[in-house]
Structure 1
Amino acid sequence: MREPETVTPRSDAEIAAASTLADQAGDAAELGARLRVLREEAGLSLRELARRLDISASAVSQIERGVMRPSVNRLIAIVGELGASITDVFAGGTGAHAERSSFGSYSLLRRGEIAPVVLENGVIYRRLSGSRTSGIDHFESTFPPMTSASAGDANSFATHTGVESGVVISGELTVEVHGDTVTLRAGDSITYSSETPHRVSNRSPEPCVANWVIARAPHSDPSDPLFSESHTARS
């Protein structure tokens, strides 16, 4: 008699990721509209932003109209050129839904109060900070199986200002930094200068959920190899 197949229950994170992908399938237009508003507030024309990003004006237009979703790296590049942050692209602004203490000593963001952002290849970003903090983005990323943070060309590496630190909550994540490749699993964390060429991808057959903090203007010690790495990479 044939043995019954064993079904491995999916984690809460994996179930939430699948549900979010289905629920957020139509939010590309909202994301594009928010990016367009940020561009206009920055006083940049569509063509000027395209020039700074080294992509076509048509590509920028498609992102703003919701025809095309940006990748993780592309989104970070866009908000960087606009002098904005990742938290600015979420519906509801930087803190409209956050609970605040009577004395303003904290802000509290309940899960589900602000819709996550779905990017290229189904990568999901969910804001974790209740309000915008100076120079810091705090968010959760969910990478479906076999996906990358890179735009289009999976071989491209990202560089931007600041320092980032991430911890894997579930699944497996591959991070490449300046020639080194490391695999992170649940509980593993990594920190590196964002100015060093880096690439993040999920090369496994399961979704990966990770929490990230990006500090765009860190008060760093120049003698610390972590922060001097970027200067070595550019030299």
Structure 2
Amino acid sequence: MLPGAPPDDEELGARIRALRTQRGMSLRALAGELGISPSALSQLERGKMRPSVTRLFQIVSILEVPLSAAFGEEAPEPVEQPLDADEVVVSRAGEVPAISLGHGVEYRRLTAVPIPGVEIYESTYPPGSSSSQDAEFLRHNGHELGSVLSGTLTVDLGFERHELGPGDSIRFPSAKPHRIRNTGDLPAVAVWVNLP
């Protein structure tokens, strides 16, 4: 794969399988935690099916790895090393791959390298897309912060609905059931931050 090229479905599936096996978890055990059949997880790991944003977040949360690990970056051990305060890292346009998920939603890391304890992404939601399959809600540890750059996103938090346009921001505990959708006619782009 070229530097900065997005992973294809087989590469993403292989990464998920590698992360699962590195954590010593069986296919059946992870499928059970996800509430899906082992066959469905196997299809995902073989690249026959692309995960939704929700499903990918569930997987990395259960495996206790950052989302960046799905991009093929080294999954840190549970005890992360602090950043080198004197280190300067630059990444050029096209060097950091984007990952395309179900419904065509795309995530691209906005930091030159992964930063322990925080994940910052530009997310693009095509018209009609959603962070989940079948309107399911996601719950995980931490907090999320988002700011819409263009288009409109609908953020459902339990029974609350928030319509966000350019310049609007939101913060919420990730343990609250949530999903993100683009119900508009134009692509929506947002900066999204996940904190443990």
TM-score normalized by structure 2?
Answer: 0.88
Listed one character per residue, the Cα deviations across residues 202-226 of structure 1 (whole Å, up to 9, x for unaligned) are 000111111100001xxxxxxxxxx
Superposition CA RMSD, Å: 2.2
TM-score normalized by structure 1?
Answer: 0.74
For the pair shown, the structure with the greater C-alpha radius of gyration is 1
Unaligned runs of 5+ in 1: 1-22, 95-100, 217-235
Listed one character per residue, the Cα deviations across residues 166-194 of structure 1 (whole Å, up to 9, x for unaligned) are 00111110011132111111111100000
Report the counterpart of residue 131 of structure 1 in structure 2: 113
Q: Given the alignment of the two structures, is residue 90 of structure 1 paired with residue 71 of structure 2, yes or no?
A: yes
8 Å contact from structure 2 (residues 96, 112) kept in 1: no
8 Å contact from structure 1 (residues 109, 128) kept in 2: no
| Structure with greater contact order relative to length (CA < 8 Å, sep ≥ 6) | 2
Unaligned runs of 5+ in 2: 76-83
8 Å contact from structure 2 (residues 127, 184) kept in 1: yes
Task: Single out whichever of 107-116 and 188-197 deviates more from structure 2.
Answer: 107-116
Report the counterpart of residue 143 of structure 2 in structure 1: 163
1:193 pairs, out of 173, 180, 183, with 173
Report the counterpart of residue 41 of structure 1 in structure 2: 22
8 Å contact from structure 1 (residues 91, 115) kept in 2: no
* SS of aligned partner of 1:147: coil
CA distance in 1, matches of 2:73, 2:23: 19
Report the counterpart of residue 9 of structure 1 in structure 2: none
Report the counterpart of residue 144 of structure 1 in structure 2: 126
Query: CA shift at 1:92, angstroms?
Result: 4.9
Report the counterpart of residue 222 of structure 1 in structure 2: none
Q: Which runs of at least 4 in structure 1 moved beyond 3 Å after TM superposition?
A: 91-94
* SS of aligned partner of 1:108: coil
Higher helix share: 1
Q: Percent identity?
A: 45
CA distance in 2, matches of 1:197, 1:207: 24
Number of residues of Structure 1 aligned to a counterpart in Structure 2:
187
Report the counterpart of residue 11 of structure 1 in structure 2: none
Listed one character per residue, the Cα deviations across residues 29-88 of structure 1 (whole Å, up to 9, x for unaligned) are 111111111111100011111011111101111111110000000000000111101111
